[in-house]
Chain A
Amino acid sequence: MTAPAALVQLTPPRRSIELQIDGEAVSAPEGTTIFDACRQRGNVLPTLCYLETLHPVNACRVCVVEVENSRVLVPSCSRKVEAGMVVHTDTPRVRHSRKMVLEFLASSVDLSTTPHVSEWLADYACHPERFGPPAPPAAAGVRDAAHAGHHAAPDPEYAATVHQPTKLDNELYVRDYRKCILCYKCVEACGTDYQNTFAIAVAGRGFDARISTEFSIPLPGSACVYCGNCIAVCPTGALMFSSEHDRRAAGTWDESRQAVVDTICPYCGVGCTLSLHVQDNEIVKVTSPFDVSITRGNLCIKGRFGWQYVQERPGAGSGRGQRNGVPRGAGDQGDGESGRVGKGGGNGRDATSPADSPLGKRAPG
């Protein structure tokens, strides 16, 4: 019926677009982003919210460049090249905006586990401390409860931050939102871009915006299926394997002693590529390469977390009991423990008193 596969052209040939970048004539295929066009010339612009496997949200603005005849700077990670475009990637205006973005983030967010950031802060001569000493962390739950459109008057002593206690509510990964730059990647990975689980979304507005489950309930009661695809895309370490988090806390996390070994997941017939991160002969986390077409970096709970059996022995594992890493509540639908029910999952409607609900203390409506 059709021609042999080798002859099928799946995409139309892409036109070549002529433009100018930093004074040099450049040609790039139609549909290329400015970022990619720059990268092809060896000029890798800083990015935070950009990832090849996700739809660009262009929210962080660290990748901005100047395009002649454009009133404002444009995000290189999402703007497509256009014929005759004249792009400048390193003007004083560009450098100023990048510097401000980096200072804004560094003064309000804990970037200690964000790759490249210390180099960029130095490159752009950033002094995040000039906004004042970071405000002390908010008590647990306070940022989760902020009401849109209102805020307390600023404290002249401090620069406001998103610092808050780490959310430890399951055995597989931690959510440390003091490190969250609100890049939307986890929401995209959990939602429409990959997992279609929609356990988390952006809630609140402005500086009080945050990644949240509904009513900020703990993960075991949420729709989370522990695929860990959010951890894989998080650029700051805000979402982190418990195994990594605990080792970091104990001071035993050491990437220089780690090897990354690729293998195929043994669980099902899909055969996802697993990259085992091994330290001291123990698997400390599992990722999948973003450029493998089977996974594009995504896994399921088994491939991502179900590897303790490989090394089950006294004293090993994540340090949180040897439960083979299966979280309580994960995968259970409508279990009494989490007080939640899957759609159509039996007669869950009749169950539980308000006290069993994660929001049990709330006054009944």
Chain B
Amino acid sequence: MDLRFSLAHATDAERSAVDACLGPPTSRWDGGERVGTEESRTASSGHAARARRDLLLPALQAAQRRVGWISEGALTYICERLDVPPAEAYGVATFYSLLSMTPRPRRVLHVCDDIVCQCRGATAMIAELERAAGPPLGHGPHADHVVLDPDAPQWIRSPCLGLCDQAPAALLQVAGETPTDKLFGATTAAELQAVLRGDDRIPERAHPTVPQAGAPTLRLLSRMGVVDPMSLDGYRSTGGYLGLRRAFEIGPTGVIREVLDAKLLGRGGAAFPTGKKWDAVARQPTRPHYLICNADESEPGTFKDRALMEGDPFALVEAMTIAAYATGCAHGYIYIRGEYPLAIERIEHAIGQARLRGLLGEHVMGQEFQFDLEVRRGGGAYICGEETALFNSIEGFRGEPRNKPPFPVDFGLFAKPTVVNNVETLVNVPWIARDGGAAFAAIGTAQSAGTKLFCLCGCIERPGVYEVPFGATLRDLITMAGGVRGGRPLRTVLVGGAAGLFVRPDELDIPLTFEGTRAAQATLGSGVIMAVDDTIDIRALLVRIAAFFRDESCGQCVPCRVGTVRQEEALHRITLRRMRGSVADELALLGEIGLGMKDASICGLGQTAYSAIESAINRLHLFEDAVAP
């Protein structure tokens, strides 16, 4: 490939950050110094450089985290190192909201204005912050050509940060030699101003909220708040690695049989049988096979995977080791959303400990089985949670979903057979391997075996992650969480996240099982249960959901790229009472837009972008008063 590069220089800081990620350049051909005359005549590094295309996003992140944005010089240097066309690298970089191609200060505070935080006072908090600290960093058009003082901190509005158990929430990112990211839960405008001013004494607050901690009935949450998440000994002394030990006894097919017997269904939203997926990959003659843990958790209202990774990281490492053993994978990735600094830190620590003790690496537990794990950090893109978009993201391409078929079990990461599972799905596995599929399926219902995590949030007395056997109803969970905050009347519950549905207070007897929600024309989605009381402006929530989908659409297919815009516009007109025609006309238009998105979009994002709004219209009859003459 003949590439054409800009003459812009990377600064020393940018170069060293990129080199720390990619290793030093070997020759002038990949961005180093000319070392001999031979080199000016022969090019030899092209293939080797291009084979590392998957390091594009990590290298871009390294530059971003070092100086706060990606300059033309930094992009050029990365392109030279990896032999990536600059236009493609630019296309990749501009796909991610946490990367900036225009100058940004080193200290940026991302303040969540998404639905759960709105239920917990974010709107007023942000208004106060804006009065005190000025408007947020201009987004979209305004961002261009504004030369910002790199030392003047800025704040910016953010979609859900996955800290909804402690809403309202914010994420501080400070670029530098040792970049820091800190999440702040239950924050206030005053605190955010102090953080913005540079007060670094305010500690990170992102510990998982597990109100049931210590209860003897817990399976997935049994160690939360009880066992030190940094201690491998603590993990092992509470049953850790017994699952892997038994896996080695029963062999890969034995493990798959147990997972099939357990009737484990994927917890990432699609409810696909995990055993079937594993079996399909295990049988593939093509090698290598890859294993991916999908920890991109970006569905507004969802924080269970964060809690698991922060509170019991070794469980995920063990689970992935068992999964890799069963499906014949030697390499696994954990793709964690970039907004989860503590989860990333704890998982990386757990991987390091496991390597030290021979629980990862060449001979896992002394067996003839090799497996290692790599953490990849997301760049701020909900769509990268879609499994095929996730492959593209890891491979160094834009996080655009691929058309299916072919399916990941045949043609996944690097075009190889790939297992993708959600964090919660995987964390069930050590239990299943240890105690057997039949014991696992002994609780729950016939079609929904085991237990399920729910993210109780919004206007609820005790928000947090709750674990219950499948079969509990919506009412049971809301009761467990102490009911509606302050005993106020319940207006609606959002079940399943922004891609889920609003249900009425008279529908609380819906059993929270895969079959029960399906029968009620709802979905478990990612396990979000967001209670909304009578003080909340539900229309503002709908507008925020519509804005979310408009922002997070990858833009690939027309129904979603334009449909999400038209949907937001119509909702906006209704809420501003600037309708084109009557409210009924606008609702009819919304219905047509929604049906087009649902039927013709490539992926689940476009297909579900209307679902919450549709439920507010048809289930809550939210606009009925407005329709009446």
Q: Which residues of A contact B (CB under 8 A)?
A: 57-62, 64, 72-73, 75, 78, 93, 96-97, 99-101, 104-105, 107-108, 130-132, 138, 141-154, 156-157, 159-160, 181-182, 191, 196-209, 212-215, 217, 221-223, 333, 339-344, 348-349, 351-352, 354, 356-357, 359, 361-365
Contacts and interface: CB of A to CB of B under 8 A. Distances in A.
Given A59-B556, A61-B601, A160-B565, A100 B8 contact: no
A53 to B, nearest CB: 19
Interface of B: 1-11, 14, 28-29, 40, 43, 67, 69, 71-75, 80, 85-91, 94-97, 100-103, 139-141, 143-145, 147, 156-157, 159, 380-381, 398, 403, 547, 550-559, 561-566, 568-570, 572-573, 576, 578, 580, 589, 592-593, 595-602, 607
B559 A148 contact: no
Contacts of B1: 196, 198
Nearest to B9: A349
Given A97-B600, A357-B6, A357-B7, A203 B94 contact: yes
A73 B597 CA distance: 10
Contacts of B67: 365
Contacts of A142: 141, 144
A222 B600 contact: no
B40 A344 contact: yes
Contacts of B561: 104, 182, 206-207, 209
By Cβ-Cβ distance, the 10 closest A-B pairs, closest first, are A149-B97, A100-B596, A150-B139, A365-B71, A209-B555, A198-B85, A145-B144, A104-B562, A201-B91, A214-B86
Given A130-B589, A343-B5, A96 B595 contact: yes
Given A97-B559, A198-B87, A333 B381 contact: no
A344 B86 CA distance: 15
B90 A201 contact: yes
8 contacts: A58-B557, A100-B563, A148-B96, A149-B159, A151-B547, A214-B72, A341-B5, A362-B71
Given A75-B403, A142-B141, A200-B87, A207 B7 contact: no
**Candidate in B14, B157, B596 with the most chain A CB atoms within 10 angstroms:** B596
Contacts of A61: 557-559, 600-602
B2 A206 contact: no
Nearest to A181: B558
A114 to B, nearest CB: 13
A214 B600 contact: no
A341 B90 contact: no
B91 A212 contact: yes
A160 to B, nearest CB: 5
**Candidate in B5, B73, B139, B144 with the most chain A CB atoms within 10 angstroms:** B5
A357 B72 contact: yes
Contacts of A75: 403
Given A156-B572, A156-B576, A365-B67, A149 B380 contact: yes
A202 B91 contact: yes
A24 to B, nearest CB: 24
Given A60-B557, A131-B569, A365-B14, A145 B564 contact: no
B267 to A, nearest CB: 20
A105 B562 contact: yes
**Candidate in B6, B14, B592 with the most chain A CB atoms within 10 angstroms:** B6
A224 B74 CA distance: 21
A365 B600 contact: no
B73 A365 contact: yes
Nearest to B568: A154
Contacts of B403: 58, 75, 78
Contacts of B14: 365
A82 B569 CA distance: 40
A223 B555 contact: no
Nearest to A139: B141
Contacts of A213: 87, 90
Contact of B580 (A60, A130, A138, A217): A130
A159 B573 CA distance: 11
A143 B142 CA distance: 10
A175 to B, nearest CB: 13
Contacts of A364: 71
Nearest to B139: A150
B103 A362 contact: yes
Given A130-B589, A151-B140, 7 more contacts: A58-B403, A61-B557, A78-B403, A151-B550, A202-B398, A357-B6, A362-B145
A191 to B, nearest CB: 8
**Candidate in B9, B97, B566 with the most chain A CB atoms within 10 angstroms:** B566
Nearest to A201: B91
A344 B29 contact: yes
Contacts of B95: 148, 203-205
A154 B96 contact: no
Given A142-B141, A208-B140, A223-B3, A203 B90 contact: yes
Contacts of B597: 100
